[in-house]
Homo-oligomer: A and B are copies of this chain.
Amino acid sequence: MFEVAELTHQISDQDYAEPIVALRTELLMVQQQLKTLDFPVLILISGVDGGGKGELIHALNEWLDARYMHTEAFDQPSDEEQERPKFWRFIRALPPKGQIGIFVGSWYSEPISKRVSGHLKDGAFERALNDINALEKLLTDDGGLIIKCWLHLKKSIQKKRLKALAANPDTQWQVTHKDAHHIKHYDDFIDTAEAVLTRTSTVHSPWLIVDGSDGNYARLTVGQHILNRIHRHIQQRARQQTLPEAAEPDLNLYQQSLLDALDLSLSLKKSDYQDKLAFYQTQLGQLSRKAKARQHSILLVFEGWDAAGKGGAIRRLTYAMDPRLYRVIPIAAPTDEERAQHYLWRFWRHLPRAGKMTIYDRSWYGRVLVERVEKLASNEEWQRAYAEIVDFERALTDHGITILKFWLHIDKDEQLKRFQAREKIPYKQFKITDEDYRNRDKWDDYKAAVNEMIARTSTHSAPWIMVEGNDKRHARIKVLETVCAALTRQLG
């Protein structure tokens, strides 16, 4: 059973009034401070039916400044939500940095209710909790503060309370069939909840379990807890900023590797190219329609050296498809809404609906490429990113999305040749800037970063495909062929 701080005394309305004034003042003051800081606060409210979640939400909405917080109550998922991985709907509703978000119903609701009703076997239940821990770690590692509150009621009190609600015509709507089911299965529910709370009460995001039998007590306790957690988090963040940077990576480790093993002399004759292009484009057209019919989503990632031919390869793909079936997302500087979120948030945003394809022209791998080399991310941040990215991609493949990641490779001489050629073509001139030459000077740093990226993020279900790009014809056909082969395998 839970260990819940035993309620030694009830708090009368009179005894409640005074501490609440003090608490409200402090909450509003810390909320003012929060606006200037660079982390979000996410408050999850869960608990047993009749535990007083509604009243608690109302109180929080009354205490806090509505302009810098919002409450998200998760109802049945819409079809747009159902067509994406399970966390998508929550991630799109995350509070931005400097703000407070309250989630009523969250990623905990489904695993608990499915487990109680027997629809989640041991292995799947375990995996669901692991996924939750990974997601919460992702957010807290990024500086986010997660505050999780569970409102508990003893069985006898829950029964009494739901009976009272059901007897009053104004409140009986609050008592649903689900509640009746839960009362009946109170013990199962509590066992499940206990397993969930124990497994997900981590150092970085612990649960607060509160006795909900006295509303005044519960609200004061949660309010005070929120205040304390935010204060402590602000102090911790300040302390962390004085810590030394994580160690520099050993660049030599990844100098000799995959990239050097590629045979850049691979090429294709023009006539062969034209035949194969027509063949695979026709096939891709058919496969993309089949994917649509089967509601099978596809995600393609293109990374590569400047001038390696990403755009050209992408156009050979899109040319074969109905424009309703794909979207190309070119990754440029993030907008301020994107900057106010975890770095993966902007990529979650564009995940394809069922049956569609999203093509990312550059991607989340910027974190371990340009952000690493240009020192836009700290060592700690980009080193952590490998695992974050693998988790992210697994969330997508678990949902049934096909992922293929292409690294378009050319050598340094070929790149220079292409830069110079572009400078001569009027409509390509703008593509070459001083920055391209600056990036070129850091070739070896990028090479180490690419090698490490490939080594650490190529997984069975989301593999990297190395494309020898010195010959554009070979590269384009290899991309097309790979996509067709993967889809043929998946769609039978």
Which of the segments A187-195, A319-327, A390-398 contacts the partner chain? Answer: A319-327
A361: interface (CB < 8 Å): yes
Complex interface: chain B residues within 8 A of A24 (CB): 427
A70: interface (CB < 8 Å): yes
Complex interface: chain B residues within 8 A of A104 (CB): 323-324
Do A73 and B324 touch across chains, with their CB atoms under 8 A apart?
yes
Complex interface: chain B residues within 8 A of A143 (CB): none
Determine the distance from Cα of A285 to Cα of B24 in the docked complex, in whole angstroms: 26
Closest to A283 in B: B170
A61: interface (CB < 8 Å): yes
A contacts, CB < 8 Å to B: 21, 24-25, 27-29, 32, 54, 57-58, 61-62, 65-67, 70-71, 73-75, 78-80, 104-105, 170, 173, 282, 285-286, 289, 311, 314-315, 318-319, 322-325, 327-328, 330, 332, 335-337, 353, 361, 426-427, 430
Q: A54-B323, A78-B353, A322-B73 are in contact. Are A335 and B332 (CB under 8 A)?
A: no
Do A319 and B289 touch across chains, with their CB atoms under 8 A apart?
no
Closest to A23 in B: B427
Closest to A320 in B: B58
Complex interface: chain B residues within 8 A of A32 (CB): 430
Determine the distance from Cα of A246 to Cα of B411 in the docked complex, in whole angstroms: 60
Do B80 and A318 touch across chains, with their CB atoms under 8 A apart?
no
Do B66 and A328 touch across chains, with their CB atoms under 8 A apart?
yes
List 16 other contacts, CB 8 Å, given A65-B430, A80-B80, A170-B282: A61-B315, A61-B328, A66-B328, A67-B332, A73-B322, A73-B325, A74-B324, A75-B324, A78-B78, A104-B324, A105-B324, A173-B285, A335-B336, A335-B337, A336-B336, A336-B337
Determine the distance from Cα of A62 to Cα of B315 in the docked complex, in whole angstroms: 7
Complex interface: chain B residues within 8 A of A70 (CB): 327-328
- The 8 Å CB contact of A318, one of B25, B61, B285, B336, is B61
Do B336 and A54 touch across chains, with their CB atoms under 8 A apart?
no
Nearest first, the 3 closest Cβ-Cβ pairs linking A and B are A73-B324, A25-B427, A73-B323
